[in-house]
Amino acid sequence: MTLTKKIIIFMVVGAIVGLIINLTGLMDWSLGVSNDLFETSKTYLVKDYLVGGVFYVIGKVFLYALQMLVVPLVFVSLFCGTTALNDPAMLGKLGGKTLILYLLTTAIAISIAISFAYLFNPGVGFDLPTDLEYTAKQAPPFVEVLINLVPRNPVQAMATGNMLQIIVFSILLGLAATMAGKPGERIISLFEDFNVVIMKLVKMVMELAPYAVFALIAKVFAEIGVEAISKLSMYFFTVMVALFIHALIVYPTMLTVLGKLNPIKFLMKMRTPMTFAFGTASSNATIPVTMRTVTERMGVDKAVGSFSIPFGATINMDGTSIMQGVATVFIAQAYGIDLTLTQLGTVVLMATMASIGTAGVPGVGLIMLATVLTQVGIPVEGIGIIIGVDRLLDMTRTAVNVTGDCAVTCIVAKSEGKLDMDVFNDPGAGVIEEEHTY
Residues that bind ligand ASP (rule: CB under 6 A) add up to a total of 15
Q: In this chain, which stretch among 6-14, 240-248, 345-353, 391-399 interacts with ligand ASP, using CB under 6 A? A: 391-399
Nearer to ligand ASP, 13 or 228 (CB): 228
Nearer to ligand ASP, 317 or 331 (CB): 317
Q: How far is the CB of 121 from ligand ASP (least distance, A)?
A: 23
Nearer to ligand ASP, 218 or 281 (CB): 281
> Considering only residues 18, 273, 288, 365, which one is a binding residue for ligand ASP as defined by CB under 6 A?
365
Q: How far is the CB of 278 from ligand ASP (least distance, A)?
A: 10
Q: How far is the CB of 393 from ligand ASP (least distance, A)?
A: 8
Per residue, the 3-state secondary structure of the chain, as one string, reads CEHHHHHHHHHHHHHHHHHHHHHCCHHHCEEEEEECCCCEEEEEHHHHHHHHHHHHHHHHHHHHHHHHHHHHHHHHHHHHHHHHHCCHHHHHHHHHHHHHHHHHHHHHHHHHHHHHHHHHCCCCCCCCCCCCCCCCCCCCCHHHHHHCCCCCCHHHHHHHCCHHHHHHHHHHHHHHHHHCHHHHHHHHHHHHHHHHHHHHHHHHHHCCHHHHHHHHHHHHHHHCCHHHHHHCHHHHHHHHHHHHHHHHHHHHHHHHHHHCCCHHHHHHHHHHHHHHHHHHCCHHHHHHHHHHHHHHHCCECHHHHHHHHHHHHHHCCHHHHHHHHHHHHHHHHHCCCCCCHHHHHHHHHHHHHHHHHCCCCCCHHHHHHHHHHHHHCCCHHHHHHHHHHHHHHHHHHHHHHHHHHHHHHHHHHHHCCCECHHHHHCCCCCCCECCCCC
> Considering only residues 320, 328, 333, 403, which one is a binding residue for ligand ASP as defined by CB under 6 A?
320
Q: In this chain, which stretch among 7-15, 136-144, 363-371, 429-437 interacts with ligand ASP, using CB under 6 A? A: 363-371
**Residue 145 lies near ligand ASP (rule: CB under 6 A):** no
Task: Return the residue nearest ligand ASP (CB atom).
Answer: 365
**Residue 209 lies near ligand ASP (rule: CB under 6 A):** no
Q: How far is the CB of 318 from ligand ASP (least distance, A)?
A: 9
Q: In this chain, which stretch among 111-119, 166-174, 275-283, 413-421 interacts with ligand ASP, using CB under 6 A? A: 275-283
> Considering only residues 212, 287, 364, 407, which one is a binding residue for ligand ASP as defined by CB under 6 A?
364
**Residue 18 lies near ligand ASP (rule: CB under 6 A):** no
Nearest to 165 by CA among 144, 149, 141: 149
**Residue 310 lies near ligand ASP (rule: CB under 6 A):** no
Nearer to ligand ASP, 195 or 282 (CB): 282
> Considering only residues 301, 318, 381, 394, which one is a binding residue for ligand ASP as defined by CB under 6 A?
394
**Residue 317 lies near ligand ASP (rule: CB under 6 A):** yes
Nearer to ligand ASP, 323 or 344 (CB): 323
**Residue 351 lies near ligand ASP (rule: CB under 6 A):** no
Footprint of ligand ASP on this chain (CB under 6 A)? 281-283, 317, 320, 360-365, 394, 397-398, 401
